[in-house]
Structure 1
Amino acid sequence: MTKVAKQYQQQWHEVFNQLLNNHILVIPTTFGMPLKKSASLEEGELTRRNTQRLTSIAGLSGNPQITIPGILPGGLSFIGPYDSDLTLLRYAKTFSKNNLFSNLKQWRIVE
C-alpha cells in the first residue's frame, strides 16, 4: 500500500470511528435486488458500483463487519467499532437466535 493510500485509510478510520461512537452500524450488504438475467451492462455497472460503496466501508476503515444472509435480498451487514470483533459476533448471534429479524419492516430508519 502506498503512503498516500495509508494516509487516506487512517483518515477514513478516524472519521468513521468518530461517527460510530461505539455503536454498531446496520446496513444492507448489497444494493437492492439481484440483477435479472436480462439486465443491461449499464444496470449491472450501476448495481456493482452501489454495492461496492456498501461493501467497502469496513475494509477502508479497518472495522469488523459480519453479514447475515437471508434477511434482505442481499443480506444484512453489521459494522462495529474498531477491535469489536467478538462483540459484533455476539450481537449478530443474539439477533439471529432471538429471531429479531422477523419484524425488520418495523425497524426505524434513521436518515
Structure 2
Amino acid sequence: MKVTPEHNERIANMKFGSVYPHYLSKVEKKGRTKEELLKVIEWLTGFDEGKLNELIQEQATFETFFQKAKLNPNAELITGVICGYRIEEIDNALTKQVRYLDKLVDELAKGKKMEKILRSE
C-alpha cells in the first residue's frame, strides 16, 4: 500500500497514550508481560517507564514522542510488513518510526524470542 500525506498527518497527530493501552492488551492477551513491552519500547526509543508515563500524561503525539526519542541505531534492521505497509518502503521518517514500534509489538505478541525482537542476534 502507498502511504499518503493524510495518513502521515493522522499518525503524527495520534496520541501515544491512546495507543499504548492497545499495545499492552495485545501482548498480554498472547501471554507476554508489561515488562517485556516496556523493554521493547525502551530498546527502540530509550524511554524508561517513568519517561513513558510522563509522555502519556503530557498527551504527547507520536510526532512529539519520536522527536524526544533516541532511536536505537539498529532500528533500521526492523523490516517486513505491518498494517499492510512494507516498512522498508515507507519514505516518511515519522511514519516509519511508528511502524517500527508497531512491528516490535507485533513480534512480541507473536511469541518471538526477545533476542530476535531486539535485533541482538
TM range (shorter): under 0.3
TM-score (norm 1): 0.24
Higher strand share: 1
Structure showing greater radius of gyration is: 1
TM-score (norm 2): 0.22
Larger RCO (CA within 8 A; separation ≥ 6): 2
